[in-house]
Structure 1
Amino acid sequence: MPVGGAGEGISLVSPEEAARFAGMSHKAVFGEVMEGLARGGDELSVVVSDYGRRLNLGGLRELCPEAFVQCGIAEQNQIEVAAALANEGFCTFAPSYATFITARVLDQIRVNLGIMRSPVMLVGVSCGCDSAILGASHMALEDVACVRCIPGMVAASPADNAEFAAVLRWLAANPRPAYVRMSEPLANLHPDGVDSLKGLDALRGAESPDVVMVASGTIAATAVRAAEALAARGVEARVLDLLMVKPLPGESLLRQVAGARLVVTLEEHSVVGGLGGAVSELLAERGLGVPLLRLGMPDAYQAADTRERVLSLCGLDVEGVAASVLGRLASL
């Protein structure tokens, strides 16, 4: 996918917007971006399945009521309606809980976005453990695995609200079958704004690092803090924000990990089929024999609890990540 600068007439995210978005929920950011697209003249359609009232879409509905399409609690129908509108030339976004807009509708995604190439942009909110308090049914831990196997699909996992808004705006200017997953951000990792989408961005640099940590999604903030904890113990770590899980920015990633003693992937997703799998496939295919540590959700369903508690129990808080990295380094 040719990601790059915003291009003529297309705005991504300014430093001022990045600071403001940092104080908002990701759902509020989604609604504001949609309203902005409509004000900018985009022939926009936002197709929802009952969930619309929680996505800050009031401004869009007042400005352009015909752009808002409510399908009720019927996600399969949501995809069919969204595909029809996209095929008629509308810039079409279809948001819902991440687990519902992927696993529940996988056949509709395969047929409409995969085989038919309908340029629908799926948006999975409350991904990972964001809604863990509601139980396993609402934890989206296999959503990336679902869409990675659909030919031609883009899968993006922003690290913060600035990157989330940038991806939405870029997709509106470059419609295609895509999935964007997002949860509540843990930090503003792009205080200077987002001028371009590189697919891979260094959040913490280090010359000749012992460890390169490749993080995807808002858990990238945990990777940065874990790297700081490692540095206090004499271990230098570079932290990369990998936005595009598919297509994977392979060449850039290979350059960044060259020479490291250990590569670590970190994701708020199952260790099966997500970022860790994609990176391990790349390293194996290119014959790069660097040790790899995949950190993510275990291959098991989790009990209902707060997001923080679930991540801590799975070793995905700052202390757990740092301890896992140190343990693996000690075994090399």
Structure 2
Amino acid sequence: MSVGLLGLLDDVTALAKVAAASIDDVAGQAAKAGLKAAGAVIDDTAVTPNYVTGFAANRELPIVARIAVGSVKNKLLILLPAALALSFFAPWIITPLLMFGGAYLCYEGAEKIYEALMPHEGHAHEAEVEGDAADPKAQENARIAGAIQTDFILSAEIMTIALGALPSMPFWQQALALAIVGLGITLAVYGAVALIVKADDIGLAMARHAFTPLGRATGRFILVAMPYVMQILSVVGTAAMIWVGGGIAIHGLASIGLPQLEHLIEELAHTAGTLIPALSGFLSELTLILADGIFGLALGALLIPVVSRVIVPTWRRVRRAVANLLGR
């Protein structure tokens, strides 16, 4: 009996060691996959503070919290199962879906530029797409819904990059690694966003109550700097959407058998890199970024009238038809 018990304990110990090694492997692979998605994480962090601009200070953190909850749902309840299912059953559809998401990011970024350059026409277009949101609560809900939609695209990109970065692993390990990436990135992004949007309150508290002159001076500096930081983040966020969306679309075209544009951009980047050998890498990357951004801006500008004149009216007719069919 004692020998059997010792054998059982040995088996349990061996299984525990295997489980621990598996967990270590999952954590390590999740960290590597998260690093692969770092570029998209930066885009997500830059975009999100735009959505609290214009609201009262006491609504900033609740709005960020609601967007964060929506982001977790996007990643864990929709994108994680979808990514695993598609990679197993229909890997061919991932590229078209990413291209659709890239086009949406281009549209969002181009629309923001359109509104900044032509405020009256931009507001008219926004009202046409989103409807009347004069009520502050309705406006907040519409802004949060828009943020979660944009987060969905960026989260899809993050999860897809992370999935592609994972080596061949058992199903449960792959699922666990993606879940760790999704949760870790969400906490990092929205924790940073919360600090950004409340930095002015932190600066005010430091300016009034810091114990040292240096602390109070730092608080005053934060108060002066934050409006400019928010403006810079707004520009960076818009540029990030256009750049990332354009890059996704160009790479998607190459993946479905239309590589001409991607090859042209690569040739331009190589040529730019030869102009100043000492700055070869920098000039090549800058050319790639500019080319992706220019293409993304052009695509987004083309989509603005398509969305307002075709997609939105069609969607409204479909909703009305469904409502009438259901007798509502």
Same fold at TM > 0.5: no
Structure with a larger share of its residues in helix? 2
What TM-score do you get using the length of structure 1 for normalisation?
A: 0.23
Structure with a larger share of its residues in strand? 1
Choose 1 or 2 for highest CA Rg: 2
